[in-house]
């Protein structure tokens, strides 16, 4: 590459390395592939005298030849300054405020001010990060990010990629690496381990050895995180279209058994562990196919698919032949889920849904004649949800492809992100400075217990 290297950046008595500035002839990202509304935001900020870059996953995906799901922007402008530039916007957030700029079809471009690294990320004791809302510069912002491949900036005026952390080389080498010292960064926020596994699974990348070793060493620290964060990250993993690859990496690293400790008896210690590992992989592969087809699967079904190997190994499905036996099995599973999900805070209604779907499966298997279902069974409230899980299982066993009627295709409006779209401004009803999320930051910025 014919990169250029500006001088290093000194900030808060810490000298950041000079970035590689990669010219357009040396990388595959093109302005024509960037969403028109995101380009408008970038240009308006530049015209107002601010520095502004396309950042994160958008740059990563464009580099890999993918269509980004989001086009996020980082800028030197403070939130209030961004809002003055865009009337079609609102400031959100409490821990760190950012700006949402609204366009047509409910599209949002998020604009964040460059953030400053905490002094504890640079040096100091291994303690939970304190609250830190300070703004910073591009170098500080890059080194605050979790992964090198997500720490890239794209600058539209000269079409250059600005790389402080070695993210371009890691993209070329197909590696996922934590920015900085992986042990220290994981200690600060153990949820970073889940993000490493997710990105490696989605991209088909290898996890860099030091990062992998840090995950293996500190995986138990994930239990220190708020259950809501773990749950939310888990559903991102299941809905991301690479849940089968994710499960393998999560199991290999041991992270899976921190989230689901009861599964170790099935996938590691059971005499048929290999069979259940293969079942989970195939069933999640069906989920991934449905996601790739644009179907949106309910959380309850995703969890039922994930838990099916456990249920088959732990419960006597073969003995369930009547409605009463199916109902009693659902009660047993429900009681187990209440205990097993205590660390994930899964709502009771979803637990009931999961338990009923799992307990209905042996009943459907018994009455499957390849033609029609008994009318009494079709009238049951649990029949449709049970059929969703049944179809997934049938596909894994070589049957017809699952076709789930409840799973709507993603709307064209949500998927539309073409550079030729005409920018339209829209503010939602009741707009204003409403926080999009609220965190209880007692005990640290990440809410550790």
Q: What is the pLDDT of residues 166-185, one digit of tens each?
A: 999 999 999 999 999 999 99
Residue 361 belongs to some domain of the structure: yes
Residue 85 belongs to some domain of the structure: yes
Residues 152, 242, single domain; the answer is no
The pLDDT value given to residue 426? 45
Residues 166, 314, single domain; the answer is no
**Residue 146 falls in the annotated catalytic set:** yes
Tell which wins on pLDDT, 437 or 400: 400
Tell which wins on pLDDT, 329 or 430: 329
Residue 185 belongs to some domain of the structure: no
Q: Which domain CATH number covers 90?
A: 3.30.460.10
CB atoms within 10 A of CB 348: 11
For residues 215-246, one letter each, b for 16 or more C-beta atoms within 10 angstroms of the residue's C-beta and e for the rest, the string is: beebbebbebbbeebbbebbeebbbbbbbbbb
- Write down the number of H helices and E strands in the chain: 20, 12
Residues 386, 256, single domain; the answer is yes
How far apart CA 69 and CA 282 sit, in angstroms, is 26
The DSSP string of 40-63 is HHHHHHHHTT--EEEETHHHHHHH
pLDDT above 70: percentage of residues in the chain: 83
Active-site residue among 35, 37, 72, 141?
72
Q: Which domain holds residue 395?
A: 237-410
The pLDDT value given to residue 427? 46
Q: What is the mean pLDDT of residues 209-238?
A: 95
How far apart CA 3 and CA 413 sit, in angstroms, is 38
* Domain end position, chosen among 149, 173, 197: 173
Active-site residue among 33, 70, 213, 352?
70
Say whether pLDDT at 294 is over 80: yes
- Using 50, 70 and 90 to split pLDDT, how confident is the model at 369? confident
Say whether pLDDT at 159 is over 80: yes
Say whether pLDDT at 1 is over 60: no
Q: What is the mean pLDDT of residues 193-212?
A: 97
Question: For 9-22, how does the pLDDT look when each residue is reduced to its tens digit (9 = 90+)?
Answer: 545 556 788 999 99
The pLDDT value given to residue 236? 95
Active-site residue among 146, 189, 237, 288?
146
How far apart CA 212 and CA 275 sit, in angstroms, is 26
Q: Is pTM beyond 0.95 here?
A: no
Residue 447 belongs to some domain of the structure: no
Residues 21, 144, single domain; the answer is yes
Residues 23, 137, single domain; the answer is yes
pLDDT above 90: percentage of residues in the chain: 73
Say whether pLDDT at 245 is over 60: yes
In the chain, how many domains are there?
Answer: 2
Q: How far is CA 356 from the centre of its chain?
A: 27
Question: For 25-63, how does the pLDDT look when each residue is reduced to its tens digit (9 = 90+)?
Answer: 999 999 999 999 999 999 999 999 999 999 999 999 999
3-state DSSP assignment of residue 147: strand
When the pLDDT of each residue in the chain is averaged and rounded to a whole number, the result is: 86
Residue 376 belongs to some domain of the structure: yes
Say whether pLDDT at 287 is over 90: yes
Residue 369 belongs to some domain of the structure: yes
3-state DSSP assignment of residue 444: coil
- Using 50, 70 and 90 to split pLDDT, how confident is the model at 187? very high
Residue 355 belongs to some domain of the structure: yes
Q: What is the token pair recorded at 393?
A: 């299982």
How far apart CA 419 and CA 210 sit, in angstroms, is 39
Residues 141, 245, single domain; the answer is no
The pLDDT value given to residue 271? 96
Residues 2, 91, single domain; the answer is yes
**Residue 72 falls in the annotated catalytic set:** yes
Residues 137, 254, single domain; the answer is no
- Using 50, 70 and 90 to split pLDDT, how confident is the model at 232? very high
Partners of residue 152 on adjacent β-strands: 163
Residues 333, 244, single domain; the answer is yes
Question: For 343-368, how does the pLDDT look when each residue is reduced to its tens digit (9 = 90+)?
Answer: 788 999 999 999 999 999 999 999 99
Residue 183 belongs to some domain of the structure: no
**Residue 173 falls in the annotated catalytic set:** no
Residues 140, 255, single domain; the answer is no
Say whether pLDDT at 449 is over 70: no
- Using 50, 70 and 90 to split pLDDT, how confident is the model at 342? confident
- Using 50, 70 and 90 to split pLDDT, how confident is the model at 370? confident
The DSSP code for 2 is -
Q: What is the mean pLDDT of residues 236-246?
A: 96
Residues 144, 254, single domain; the answer is no
The pLDDT value given to residue 17? 86
Residues 165, 241, single domain; the answer is no
């Amino acid at each position: 590459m014919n990169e250029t290297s500006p001088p290093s950046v000194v900030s808060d008595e810490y000298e950041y390395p000079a970035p590689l500035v990669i010219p357009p002839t040396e990388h595959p990202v093109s302005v024509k592939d960037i969403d028109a509304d995101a380009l408008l935001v970038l240009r308006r900020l530049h015209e107002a005298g601010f520095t502004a870059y396309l950042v994160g996953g958008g740059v990563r995906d464009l580099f890999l030849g993918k269509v980004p799901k989001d086009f996020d922007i980082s800028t030197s402008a403070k939130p209030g300054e961004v809002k003055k530039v865009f009337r079609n916007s609102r400031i959100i957030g409490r821990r760190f405020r950012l700006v949402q700029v609204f366009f047509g079809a409910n599209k949002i471009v998020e604009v964040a001010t460059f953030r400053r690294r905490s002094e504890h990320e640079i040096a100091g004791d291994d303690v939970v990060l304190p609250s830190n809302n300070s703004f910073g510069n591009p170098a500080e912002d890059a080194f605050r990010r979790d992964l090198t491949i997500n720490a890239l900036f794209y600058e539209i005026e000269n079409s250059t990629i600005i790389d402080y952390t070695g993210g371009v080389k890691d993209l070329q080498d197909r590696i996922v690496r934590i920015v900085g010292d992986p042990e220290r960064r994981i200690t600060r926020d153990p949820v970073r381990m889940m993000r490493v596994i997710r990105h490696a699974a989605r991209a088909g990348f290898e996890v860099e050895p030091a990062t992998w070793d840090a995950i293996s060493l500190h995986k138990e620290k994930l239990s220190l995180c708020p259950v809501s964060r773990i749950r939310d990250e888990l559903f991102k993993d299941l809905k991301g279209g690479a849940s089968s690859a994710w499960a393998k990496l999560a199991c290999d690293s041991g992270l899976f058994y921190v989230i689901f400790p009861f599964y170790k008896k099935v996938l590691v210690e059971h005499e048929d562990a290999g069979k259940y590992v293969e079942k989970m992989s195939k069933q999640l592969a069906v989920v991934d196919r449905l996601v790739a087809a644009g179907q949106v699967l309910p959380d309850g079904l995703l969890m039922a698919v994930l838990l099916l190997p456990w249920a088959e190994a732990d419960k006597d499905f073969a003995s369930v032949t009547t409605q009463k036996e199916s109902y009693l099995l659902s009660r047993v599973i429900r009681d187990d889920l209440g205990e097993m999900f205590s660390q994930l805070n899964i709502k009771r209604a979803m637990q009931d849904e999961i338990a009923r779907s799992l307990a209905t499966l042996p009943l459907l298997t018994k009455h499957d004649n390849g033609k029609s279902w008994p009318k009494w069974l079709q009238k049951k409230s649990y029949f449709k949800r049970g059929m969703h899980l049944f179809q997934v299982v049938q596909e894994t066993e070589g049957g017809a492809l699952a076709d789930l009627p409840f799973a709507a295709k993603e709307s064209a409006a949500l998927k539309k992100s073409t550079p030729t779209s005409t920018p339209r401004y829209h503010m939602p009803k009741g707009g204003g400075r409403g926080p999009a999320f609220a965190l209880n930051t007692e005990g640290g910025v990440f809410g550790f217990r």
